[in-house]
Amino acid sequence: MNKRLQLKARCSSIKQLENKVPLEIDTLDLSGDHLVVNGTEYRIGIIQKYPNDQIPNYVKFELEDGGCFNDLNEFGGFCFDQNVVLMPGDIDLMKKRPNYPDRVIDESDIEKTEKEIEEYKKRLEELRSIWGKTIFSFDELRKFEIEFGVLADRPIVSLTELPIAPNSNEKIRALHDQKELILLIFREKGRLQRLVNFRDKIRPEYLVQLTIKSPTGEKRVEYGKYTGKLRESHKALLNFILGDRSCPITVQKLIVSHETVIRAPIGLKLRIRELKIVEKSYDQRFKKTFNQLKPILEESSIPLRSLEVPSTTRSIFNHEVVRTAGKLIVQWRRPLRDVLEIYTDLPIQRVITEINYTPPEHFLDFIQRWKEAGRPIGTHYSFTVFKRFPLKPILNLLQQNAISKGKNWVVIPFNEVSNLKVSRMASYELSFEVVELLSE
């Protein structure tokens, strides 16, 4: 697939021919500020042009991740509102249009930022004087940032909240604090440069950077002119890969997010087998999200082979697309006390989900309703229990009518043609599977 795209990019003479050959993709991830096709990541960002020997470390760190993913004004300030401007063909999955008021900058902002940088530097030197200086790679810092969200827009950590010699695991905490301080220094230096640019009317030169990273980690970088509209670069990339196709693109697994705008080519059609929806807030908007996706989905995509969704309410289970999926994976943001009732009548063969702790007697009712519904062989539901209560009492209760049993499983009668196997797959995971009758 990726070699095919490389050939298309290098040989314009075969571009038209390539668009006529059916395209099949294993995994298409459109969920973030990047595009991932079969494990190859395409990331478009904005970078400031520097002489090679004059690039500050905080800029190098940003370059390693692909640059800035928001549009910038002439002084390097963020233009967030440009990211939500829609173009023909776009699929808008965002919850709401954010409002970013213009910020007034004065000299005190610069002085405050300079002071914060000096305070962080001082604190860092104090830590290094006690624990020694550790050099962290950009990859180490990036992993730390992703895990702890250091560079998120939040109040600056007070120096008094970062003890030099914590009581527990002091060395690890000291390394943790050093990473955080380095990242905070990087963040504030970038902010300071933007403030100075605005004050002194400095207009840096910016480029669009396309970073292509293969599944093996091999990286290739290309550059282009920045026009002030990053969305046009995203649109051009998706047009190149997915646009102007003579037939629907077959995608085994499509990944999208509630929080993005998909810069889809006009007329794009995807024949998908699996759909995964990811988001940070777990807002319950499956119906709206799916309706927004409909224009790019080929009709034969439904029923889905697999559907993975976040949820906070029961209403999602009334949607036809959910009820007809071959496999359903539900990530519950908050537990519902009666959530087990949902799964007694759900006409889906394979379900992986989470539940709040439920008394063993409730599982007996769950099994009885499965019997009454005549659930077919192959029906298999796995429950991860939110609150970590022991699951052994449930197995003990079922062992009274067991046909066979083991340390972490029990087989009980189900109906004339099948049995039910209940297993503890992990410490807090319980599995119910309708199986064939045991042979004599």
pLDDT of residue 157: 43
- For the chain, how far is it from start to end, CA to CA, in angstroms? 51
Residues for the chain: how many in total?
440
* Contact of 64 with 52, CB cutoff 8 Å: no
Report pLDDT for 172: 82
Mean pLDDT of the chain: 85
pLDDT band at 113 (very low <50, low <70, confident <90, very high): very high
Q: Is residue 421 within a helix (H) or strand (E), and if so which, with residue range? A: strand 418-426
Chain-centre distance of CA 393, in angstroms?
A: 36
Whether the pLDDT of residue 281 is over 60: the answer is no
For 353, the 3-state DSSP assignment is strand
Q: Please state, in angstroms and rounded to a whole number, the distance separating the CA atoms of residues 349 and 327.
A: 6
CA angle 427, 404, 387 (to 5 degrees): 20
Distance CA 423, CA 248 (A): 42
Q: Are 358 and 336 in contact (CB under 8 A)?
A: no
Q: Distance (Å, rounded) from C-alpha 131 to C-alpha 435?
A: 59
- Lowest-pLDDT choice from 11-20, 53-62, 427-436: 11-20
Q: Is the pLDDT assigned to residue 156 strictly greater than 70? A: no
- pLDDT above 60 (res 100): no
Q: Give the pLDDT confidence of 297-350 residue by residue, as tens digits.
A: 999 999 999 999 988 678 888 899 999 999 999 987 555 556 777 888 889 999
Given pLDDT bands bounded at 50, 70 and 90, which one contains residue 367?
very high
Burial class (CB in 10 A: 0-12, 13-18, 19+), 136: middle
Confidence check: pLDDT of 54 > 50: yes
What average pLDDT does the segment 145-167 reach? Answer: 52
Question: CA–CA separation, 268 vs 295, rounded Å?
Answer: 8
CB–CB of 398/422 below 8 Å?
yes
pLDDT in tens, 196-230: 999 999 999 999 999 999 999 888 999 999 988 99
Kindly state the tokens that stand for 114. 């300079």
Residue 12, pLDDT above cutoff 80: no
Structure confidence at residue 189 (pLDDT): 94
Q: Residue 160: is its pLDDT beyond 50? A: no
Mean predicted confidence (pLDDT) in 393-404:
87
Q: Where are the domains of the chain?
A: 50-207, 302-436
Where does the pLDDT of residue 235 fall: very low under 50, low under 70, confident under 90, or very high at 90 and above? very high
pLDDT tens sequence across 120-140: 999 999 989 988 888 999 989
Could you list the beta-strand ranges (E) of 291-376. 306-311, 327-332, 350-355
What string of DSSP letters covers 250-310?
EEEEEEEETT-EE-PPTT--EEEEEEEEE-SS----HHHHHHHHGGGB-GGG-S-SEEEEE
166 against 378, higher pLDDT: 378
CA distance linking residue 226 with residue 244, whole number of Å? 25
Is there a contact between 127 and 303 (Cβ–Cβ < 8 Å)?
no
pLDDT at 159: 42
Beta bridge partners of 353: 383
